[in-house]
Amino acid sequence: MFWRTIPGAVNLAALSSMLLLLVKLFIFNQISEPVDGFHELGLVFEAVLTSVLASYVFYLIVVHFKEVREKKAIYPFVTRWSNLVVRDCRVQIAGFSKVDPTKLDFQTLEKQDIEAVFARLEPNGAAPLVFWEGGQANWLQYFENYRIRSLRHIDKIMTQLKFLEAPLVALLMKVQDSTHFSAIESLSRVKLNNDNLMTFAGGFYEYVQACRKLDGYLKAHAIHSANE
């Protein structure tokens, strides 16, 4: 329900004010004034509680309902862009199958599987990617292409930061800050003399793990129903 998205402190303040106001109206108001001035103090107390409740109602109508509507409108796009980040990882893994006949699965891929593939990949060898302007990409350029694509998706998501849930942001940041992305950004424009990509295997596995966690979160949480 929508009230689950209201900050806990706001709900607690409103509930406390309502309970105190009810006690004041139905219990204390029935008791004779024990000391001069208590009646006036009670009126002030009642006015404060009423003000708190009025502020809560205003927050619900003017602020919270608007945020809920906006979140419902934007979250299908957030979900789509987040899934594209995961898809970029899946596509890269599928690209390895053109080099290694072993079937590589995104969900079950282990570090040793990546090491076995990367041991057969030459940094400057032809990758399954052709540039629009022509020419075959090498493997470092292949990784760089998907790094840039993923970061563009993440940038789009982060423009809607105020609507995002903290766990989703943390998972996206784990992808963005992965060792693999950092290494590829630095080395994609140079010509390496390495015989293989073994030095990148650990970083790529870290990146795959980050994408798997993001994929799991999206399947469990990122689709918001109309009743939330």
Cα→Cα distances 158→75, 82, 90, 164, 173, Å: 12, 11, 22, 8, 10
Alpha carbon separation from 223 to 124, 155, 157, 167 (Å, rounded)? 41, 20, 15, 14
Q: Which amino acid is at 59?
A: Y
pTM of the entire predicted model: 0.69
Q: Cα separation of 64 and 76, whole Å?
A: 19
Q: What is the pLDDT of residues 173-210, one digit of tens each?
A: 999 999 999 999 888 676 777 889 999 999 999 999 99
* Mean pLDDT of all residues belonging to the chain: 78
Instruction: Please write the tens of the pLDDT for every residue from 73-131.
Output: 678 899 999 999 999 999 999 998 776 656 788 999 999 999 999 999 998 889 999 98
Q: Which amino acid is at 180?
A: H
Chain-centroid distance, C-alpha 152: 14
H or E element, residue 115: helix 111-118
Phi-psi region of 125 (alpha: psi -120 to 50; beta: other; left: phi over 0): beta
Q: Which amino acid would we find at residue 161? A: L
Return the pLDDT at 131. Answer: 87
Comparing C-alpha atoms, which of 218, 85, 206, 215 is closest to residue 164? Answer: 218
